[in-house]
A and B are shown apart, each in its own frame.
Chain A
Amino acid sequence: MIRKTFENEIQQVKDEVLLLGSMVEHAIIASVEALKKRDIKGAEKIILEDKNVNKKRFAIENQLMILIATQQPMAHDLRFLASTMEIISELERMGDYAKGIANINIRMGEESLLKPLIDIPRMAQIGTSMLHRSLTAFINEDVAAAQAIPIEDDEVDALYNQIYRELMMIIIQDPKSIERANWLLWVAHNLERVADRVTNICERTVFIATGEMNEIKSSDDEFWKGQQH
Chain B
Amino acid sequence: METNEIPQYSIETKDLSIFYGTFKAVSDVNLLIEKQKITAIIGPSGCGKSTLLRAFNRMNDFVPSSYVTGKVLMGGQNMYGANIDPVEVRRKIGMVFQKPNPFPKSIYENIAWGARINGFKGNMDELVEQSLRGAALWEEVKDVLQKSAYELSGGQQQRLCIARTIAIQPDIILMDEPASALDPISTLRIEELMQELKKNYTIIIVTHNMQQAARVSDYTAMMMLEKDGSRSGTVIEFSETKKIFTNPKDKRTEDYVTGRFG
| Same complex origin of A and B | yes
Nearest B-chain residue to A77, judged by Cβ = B258
Q: Among the listed stretches B24-32, B142-150, B151-159, B241-249, which one makes contact with chain A, having 4 or more residues with CB under 8 Å of it?
A: B241-249
Residue interface mask B207-233, A partner, CB < 8 A = 1: 000110010000000000000000000
Q: Among the listed stretches A48-56, A67-75, A92-100, which one makes contact with chain B, having 4 or more residues with CB under 8 Å of it?
A: A67-75
| Residues 122-171 of A contacting B (Cβ, < 8 Å) | none
Query: Does the CB pair B259–A2 fall under 8 Å?
Result: yes
| Residues 91-120 of B contacting A (Cβ, < 8 Å) | none
Choice from B211, B248, B262 contacting A75 with Cβ under 8 Å: B248
Query: Does the CB pair B210–A74 fall under 8 Å?
Result: yes
A79 at the interface (CB under 8 A from B): yes
Nearest A-chain residue to B254, judged by Cβ = A75
Q: Size class of A's contact patch?
A: 10 to 19
Q: Which residues of A contact B254 (CB under 8 A)?
A: 75-76
A1, A2, A74 interface centre (most CB from chain B within 10 Å): A74
* Whole-angstrom CA separation of A3 from B261 in the bound complex: 10
Q: Which residues of B contact A29 (CB under 8 A)?
A: none
Q: Which residues of A contact B245 (CB under 8 A)?
A: 74-75, 78
Q: Which residues of B contact A74 (CB under 8 A)?
A: 210, 214, 245-246, 257-259
B260 at the interface (CB under 8 A from A): yes
Query: Does the CB pair A3–B246 fall under 8 Å?
Result: no
B254 to chain A, nearest CB (A): 5
A119 to chain B, nearest CB (A): 42
CB-defined A-B contacts under 8 Å, sample of 25: A1-B260, A2-B260, A2-B261, A2-B262, A3-B260, A6-B259, A72-B211, A73-B258, A74-B210, A74-B214, A74-B246, A74-B257, A74-B258, A74-B259, A75-B245, A75-B246, A75-B253, A75-B254, A75-B258, A76-B258, A78-B245, A78-B246, A79-B247, A211-B246, A211-B247
